[in-house]
Amino acid sequence: MRVIAGEHRGRPLNAVPGKGTRPTTDKVKESIFNMIGPFFEGGVVLDLYAGTGSLGIEALSRGAEKAVFVEMDAKAFSVVKQNVAALRLDERAEIYKIEASRALKVLGKRALQFDFVFLDPPYAKQKVKENMEDLQKLGLLAEGAIIVAEHDAATELPQLVGHCRSVRQAQYGDTGVTIYRYETADSDLETES
C-alpha cells in the first residue's frame, strides 16, 4: 500500500495488522481520485472510517489543505497516526478515535464544513445513507462537496439522499464505489458516464 500521486507519491503506508480492516486497494484508490480530481487546490477532507488513513492521506498528497480522520478501532487508529507522522502531515491532520456517528455530532458543533468526504465503513455495518443524512443535517457539507462511498458491489445505494445526488458509479470486483455531489441550489447536476 502506497501513496499513488502528488507530493508524497510512492511513499509506503503501514497496514493494519490482522483481518479486521479491508484497505482500499491501490487500483480502486487510483480510480476514485481519477474520478474526483485527480488533484485539488485546497479543500477540507473527512475520512470517516479511516482504516489506515490511505484515502485522506492521498487527498492531502494531491493538494487538499486539511484532513480529519475518524477511526474507532484501536489498531487502525494507531496506524493512521503512524502514517500521518511518517509523512509529516501532522499539522494538516486531525485524528479522532471515536465512533462515526458520534464524531459527526462533535464535528457539527465545531461548524466545520467538508469539501470531500470518504465513507468506507465495514461492509457488514453499512450506514452510508444514515451518515450522509447526518452530514447534511449537521451542516457538515460545503456547497458542491463530493462524497465517495465504498460499499459491497451487491449493495445498491439510492440515487438521491437529501441534497446529495449520485453522479458516478463503478465496480471493482466485490467493491462498489458511488460518488455523490451535494448541491442545495436548484441547478441541474450533470451525470457523468
Task: Render pLDDT for 27-63 as a digit per residue (tens, 0 to 9).
Answer: 999 999 999 999 999 999 999 999 999 999 999 999 9
- State the amino acid at position 77 in one-letter form: F
Q: Kindly tell me the sign of the dihedral angle through the C-alpha atoms of 29, 33, 38, 40.
A: negative
Q: What distance in Å separates the CA atoms of residue 72 and residue 92, rounded to the nearest whole number? A: 20
Lookup result for grid cell 484497505: 23
Q: Which residues contact 137 (CB under 8 A, 6 or more apart)?
A: none
160, 148, 68: which is closest to 114 by C-alpha? Answer: 68
Q: Kindly give the pairing relationship between strand 66-70 and strand 93-96.
A: parallel
pLDDT tens sequence across 158-179: 999 999 999 999 999 989 999 9
Domain positions in the chain: 26-36+44-182
For 26-36+44-182, CATH number? 3.40.50.150
